[in-house]
Amino acid sequence: MPLVAFPSRFAPASRLLASTALCLALPATQVAAAETTATLFLWANDVDQKLEGGTRLETSSETLIENLEFGLMGALVHRTGPWLYGFDALYADVGKDGDVDVPVRNAVPDGPESIDTALDFTSKTTLVHAYVGHEWYRGPRWAVYATGGVRYTRFETELTVETDTGIARRFETEENLTDATLGVRGHYAYTPHWSSPYILDVGTGSTEVTLHAFTGLSYDWGASSVTAAYRYMKWKLDDGDYLDQVIYEGPLLAFSYRF
């Protein structure tokens, strides 16, 4: 006598449980794993400081390298799913002492381009930037994250200038600046090994405006990468004691490791 199979009301539930078990058994590689990237930078930057009243003091990257007493720059970025959490830090202590020819751009028409001085100069910069980003777009080549964060900058500058006429002037500044930032960052991939990272963000708060721009060329191998890039940072102070504007810019070399 042939057996007759009656449909069971439990069959849909059984199929659902089987499908769920199959999904859970899929390889984990189908979901992007969390990743942390640590980066150290070497930055050969020029410094342009504009004082209240229009006087500008410029220091080339060669001068900074020759007189750098201590410098450290690094970044830590953690990515998980569509989110990223980042932390950038910079500290530099630069000193200069001796008889030098100081370039000066003055607001006075036909003013001297430089003066012979006995110079004693110390500049300390501390920068910390913490931010959160969310993936805005990802394609075969582009990755774009929208970011928001807080940037803290501290400038400490001591400058004594004495001309051959005996006139001396001393500047001491200490600016503590905290700004909220908004920006974008990501990369464009040419090949699996070559890409161009980029960063652009603006901020405001203690300053009238801050700007940070970065782009370059990276080569990846395994968990490591090396990047040659150009970085530009600008602070336009709203109401500083002596400083009106500070610009850091120049080429950099970075090494990153992912874990």
Give per-residue pLDDT as tens, 54-69. 566 666 656 655 555 5
Q: How confident is the model at residue 122 (pLDDT cuts 50, 70, 90)?
A: confident
Listed in sequence order, the residues at least 6 apart from 69 whose beta carbon sits closer than 8 Å to its beta carbon are 93, 94, 95
Q: What is the rounded average pLDDT of the residues 66-76?
A: 73
Q: What is the rounded average pLDDT of the residues 105-129?
A: 69
**Helix, strand, or coil (residue 107):** coil
pLDDT of amino acid 14: 42
Length of the chain: 259
Q: What is the rounded average pLDDT of the residues 8-33?
A: 40
pLDDT of amino acid 113: 61
pLDDT of amino acid 33: 79
Using one digit for the tens of pLDDT, what is the confidence trace for 156-194? 877 776 766 666 677 777 889 999 999 999 999 999 999
pLDDT of amino acid 24: 34
* Greater model confidence, 105 or 21: 105
pLDDT of amino acid 18: 41
- Distance CA(88)–CA(201), nearest Å, equals 13
* Greater model confidence, 202 or 25: 202
**Residue 249 structure tokens:** 């810019």
Please check the confidence at residue 248 and state whether its pLDDT lies above 60. yes
Least confident of 91-95, 200-204, 231-235: 91-95
On whether the CB atoms of residues 121 and 98 are closer than 8 A, the answer is no
- Distance CA(127)–CA(152), nearest Å, equals 6
**Mean of per-residue pLDDT scores for the chain:** 78
pLDDT of amino acid 100: 54
Residue 91's beta-bridge partner residues?
A: 72, 126
Please check the confidence at residue 21 and state whether its pLDDT lies above 50. no
**pTM recorded for the entire structure:** 0.75
